[in-house]
Amino acid sequence: NAGVTQTPKFRVLKTGQSMTLLCAQDMNHEYMYWYRQDPGMGLRLIHYSVGEGTTAKGEVPDGYNVSRLKKQNFLLGLESAAPSQTSVYFCASSRGRTGWSRTEAFFGQGTRLTVV
Amino acid sequence: AQTVTQSQPEMSVQEAETVTLSCTYDTSENNYYLFWYKQPPSRQMILVIRQEAYKQQNATENRFSVNFQKAAKSFSLKISDSQLGDTAMYFCAFASNTNAGKSTFGDGTTLTVKP
């Protein structure tokens, strides 16, 4: 019963490098989200998806791209990493549909990304 | 846009005592959900308790309870009989029922339970 799994858990990038963070959920959830968490701050929404093949921008989307080719996977890409993207990244999913099931999020364990 | 404010960056409490964490939010919506999440040093985000805005009764979950004041847009978390394992950062979150379930988080309160 894995829930939400993020890969990798840690990564160090050089400025200008690219990488992809993978999020996989095995709960058949409709909605998936990518958040970033900076020191002393709460989570801020980067991008989200309400179903396979769909994506939408969140609060802080610049510098990131996402794809949801399969329902269970949500990928976050950084095309040209910058030091300002040093953060902890969380993926989350929710059952979707209506009511509280749409809003209660299940989180992965986070990815600590450092851009030097 | 919704905002969530947690005015207490850090708090501490003695083991076995009671502590209350504050949260206020701002929204023009009437149908929404509120959550408290716990983030221990392991970094895992764990749902502690949730409240549906249309319910007047305050949610409770074992030692955790909320005081939901809809008119005042206030949603505080009370932890009774505090345990060392309660040491964590606590986030208050708002989610609209009409906005793809996206959550808006407060900046968190770091709670330390002292032996």
Q: What percentage of chain A reaches a pLDDT higher than 90?
A: 80
| Average confidence (pLDDT) over A13-19 | 97
Write out residues 31-50 of A within 8 Å (CB-CB) of B: 31, 33, 35, 40-45, 48, 50
* Position B98 pLDDT exceeds 90: no
Q: Is A45 exposed, middle or buried (0-12, 13-18, 19+ CB in 10 A)?
A: buried
Collect all residues with Cβ–Cβ distance below 8 Å to A111 and sequence separation of at least 6: A6, A7, A8, A9, A10, A11, A21, A88, A89, A90
Per-residue pLDDT averaged across B94-112, rounded?
Answer: 85
What is the pLDDT, as a whole number, of residue B103? 84
Residue B20's φ and ψ, nearest 5 degrees, are -125, 125
d(CA B47, CA A104): 8
Average pLDDT, chain B: 92
Q: Give me the residue from B45, B101, B107 closest to A40, CB to CB.
A: B107
d(CA A60, CA A58): 6
| Cα distance between residue B28 and residue B31, in whole Å | 9
Average pLDDT, chain A: 91
- What pLDDT is stored for residue A98 in this prediction? 60
The nearest CA of chain B is from the CA of A97 a distance in Å of 9
Q: What is the pLDDT of residues B43-55, one digit of tens each?
A: 889 999 999 888 8
What confidence tier does A102 reach under pLDDT thresholds 50, 70, 90? low
Q: Which of B42, B44, B101 sits opposite A94 (nearest CB)?
A: B101
| Confidence band for A101, pLDDT divided at 50, 70 and 90 | low
Contact flag B105-A107 (C-beta cutoff 8 Å)? no
pLDDT score at A32: 93
User: What pLDDT score does B96 carry?
Assistant: 80
Cα–Cα distance measured from residue B58 to residue A94, given in angstroms and rounded to the nearest whole number: 23
For residue B1, name the pLDDT band (cuts at 50, 70, 90): confident
* pLDDT tens-place string over residues B21-67: 999 999 988 888 999 999 998 888 999 999 988 888 999 999 999 99
- The reply to whether residue A102 touches residue B105, judged by beta carbons under 8 angstroms, is no
Q: Is the pLDDT of residue A26 over 70?
A: yes
pLDDT given for residue A18 in this prediction: 96
Q: Determine the pLDDT at residue A38.
A: 93
Query: CB-based contact (8 Å) between B52 and chain A?
Result: yes
**Higher-confidence residue: A100 or A77?**
A77
B91 and A41 within 8 Å at the Cβ level: the answer is no
